[in-house]
Amino acid sequence: MHATAILLAAGLGTRMKSRHPKAAHKLAGRPMLRHLIESCGVVFDQIVVVVGPDMQELEAIASPHAVVVQQERLGTAHAALQAAGLFGDGDVAVLYADNPLITPDTLRRLVETRRDGATRLALLAMRPADPGRYGRVVQQDGEVERIVEWADASEAERAIPLCNAGVLCAAAADFEPWLRAVRNDNARGEYYLTDVVALAAASGGIVRAVEASEAELRGINSRAELAEGEAAIQQRLRRAAMDAGATLVAPETVFLSADTVLAPDVVVQPHVVFGPGVSVGAGSEIRAFSHLEGCIVGEGAQIGPYARLRPGTHVGDAAHVGNFVELKAADLGAGAKANHLSYIGDASIGAGSNIGAGTITCNYDGVFKHRTEIGARAFIGSNSILVAPVRIGDGALTAAGSVITNDVEADALALGRARQVNKPGQASMLREKLARETKVRDQKKHGETG
């Protein structure tokens, strides 16, 4: 049976105090709306996103899924009704973009409950530690009678521990008439989606609640709640990484992105940050205080400590990237090493090459970026400056401290530094001169203050 997910994302999120829509704020490097889209994509055949006017940022995030615009913000039932023309013939679930942590398993349970042969409407509910201002789920004999918003609830209703998570699922043929029957005679004068529950119950249909954890169903409406959501998703991602065979030495100090891929036997030491778009091959070790984003690390590689891999970087199998080394749009070949204090940008480094401490690829001339190409088994001496565009051939060697501005052929030795001159006795003479100058300076200072 066909199923459609309607994602409500028209809220301004004023409590975020941001120029960005609430659903555009990120968790684990991914917009909240995108998290929900990814989960819904596992369960539903079609996804429709409802946004407010002038929300092009959210429309871009929603792509390629259908988007409809709620021109007037008259409430959540009104928002869902804007997508009625796209409901289709099967089941419809309405979700909120500020509930981004719902898992596919929970959504699957929701749909299965709706299709159990007796349930006309299914909803998600939770029992939060602090129910606060959540709407309460009023039940009788295991069936849901209605949901009452906190602002309209009595003291007895506010004492109910089961809270509405905002997600409803029903057949499209039922959902649209219920939405059109919703009225706005409440404390805020809005058309509440939650009123659909009472309408469903009043029509003789059975309404059931599907419970899930607060960590999964929490709403995110403020910066503080965004931080709480980040903590929840990080805990989930860390557990998944370890269950898949990675070792996180101090999991609470490692931060992952939603798309981070860690192969089995990867070891991640404390205080490592993975930005979006990182894949690490089996047996590699990411050492402490490293930052990786938009890069691929091969098998058996060693990264860090204190390394930075920027977007476009590819580290080959068994390669080494050491402390205070930064790579950007660079290919480091298999077994190659850049172990100390280097910047390698817009470069290709062949297999087995060694990059000496303090090496820099000068890749930017103020207008354009240029590439440096280093062949296999080359040796780049410490403090070499490679001025791109430049090519270093296979097996070539650059002397320490060289500035390389021209191509170096294979197996050649390149020296690009001033000739050294030794002057016997000059060191002691210089020290004596400096001592005399220091004495005169001290005497003058004493005379001025004496």
Q: Are 69 and 53 in contact (CB under 8 A)?
A: yes
Question: What would the DSSP string read from start to end of 95-163?
Answer: EETT-TT--HHHHHHHHHHHTSSSEEEEEEEE--SS-TTPPEEEEETTEEEEEE-GGG--HHHHT---E
How crowded is the C-beta side of 383, counted as CA atoms within 13 Å?
6
For the chain, counts of helices (H) and of strands (E): 10, 35
Nearest to 137 by CA among 163, 159, 109, 106: 163
Residue position matching structure tokens 């509440």: 192
Which residues does the annotation place in the binding site for acetyl-CoA?
Answer: 357, 363-364, 382, 400, 417
Q: Are 49 and 78 in contact (CB under 8 A)?
A: no
The two tokens of residue 439 are 């004495």
| Cis geometry, peptide bond prior to residue 64 (ω within 30 degrees of 0) | yes
Most distant CA atoms of the chain, gap in Å = 106
- Amino acid code (one letter) for 176: E
21: left (phi over 0), alpha (psi -120 to 50) or beta: beta
Which residues does the annotation place in the binding site for UDP-N-acetyl-alpha-D-glucosamine?
Answer: 8-11, 22, 70, 75-76, 135, 149, 164, 221, 310, 328, 343, 354
Which residues are annotated as catalytic? 340
Q: Are 338 and 332 in contact (CB under 8 A)?
A: yes
Which residues does the annotation place in the binding site for Mg(2+)?
Answer: 98, 221
For the chain, the residue count is 450
Strand partners, 313: 295
| Backbone dihedral angles phi then psi of residue 78, each to the nearest 5 degrees | -65, -40
